[in-house]
Amino acid sequence: MPTHSSHYLQPLDVGCYSPLKQAYGHQIEHLVRARVTHITKLEFLCALREAWPASMTQKNIQGGFAGAGLVPYDPERVLSKLDVQLRTPTPPGPPAANSWISQTPHNPQEANLQAELVITRVSKNPNSSPTLATINQFTKGTTAIMYQMTLLRIEV
């Protein structure tokens, strides 16, 4: 399903549920004006019971399907509204041996692999802002914390 297209493909969202949300909001506004600050299940159901008939009308239901181009059935109308651009996906490259994906480390080995990844990327682009000394300090601190966490997990 293309992005930003659910309102074309789900006509009840636009035709019924949007007006229901609006009518329910008005019911809750009345309660707030009456100094009700907590909505119980009973108050929710009462507000919904009042809002439902105002939104779930034959006109709204038919309007939702007509607006989406489903009744009368007109696929060209729906497709003309969508901004679909077909493209051929780029095939994935071969995975590198012992490669590490950038993620939050959960143990000392992952912390070291993460640091090596950052160092490799910084080495390839020397104009980047962090220095190797800063990364090495971060690595030492992270490794120490990971060892402490591992010991604490074992102890707990």
H helices within 68-131, ranges in order? 75-81, 108-124
pLDDT above 80 (res 156): yes
pLDDT above 60 (res 75): yes
Q: Which residue has the higher pLDDT, 102 or 11?
A: 11
Contact 143, 116 (CB under 8 A): no
Q: Span 72-86, mean pLDDT?
A: 71
pLDDT bracket for residue 22 (50, 70, 90): very high
pLDDT above 60 (res 89): yes
Question: Nearest-CA neighbor of 78 among 90, 70, 87, 89?
Answer: 70
Q: Span 103-126, mean pLDDT?
A: 75
pLDDT above 60 (res 100): no
pLDDT bracket for residue 53 (50, 70, 90): very high
pLDDT above 80 (res 64): yes
What is the rounded radius of gyration, in angstroms, for the C-alpha atoms of the chain?
28
Q: Which residue has the tokens 């994935």?
A: 92
pTM value > 0.85: no
So what's the pLDDT on residue 119?
A: 77
Q: Span 128-156, mean pLDDT?
A: 76
Contact 16, 55 (CB under 8 A): yes
1-10, 18-27, 102-111, range with greatest mean pLDDT? 18-27
So what's the pLDDT on residue 132?
A: 66
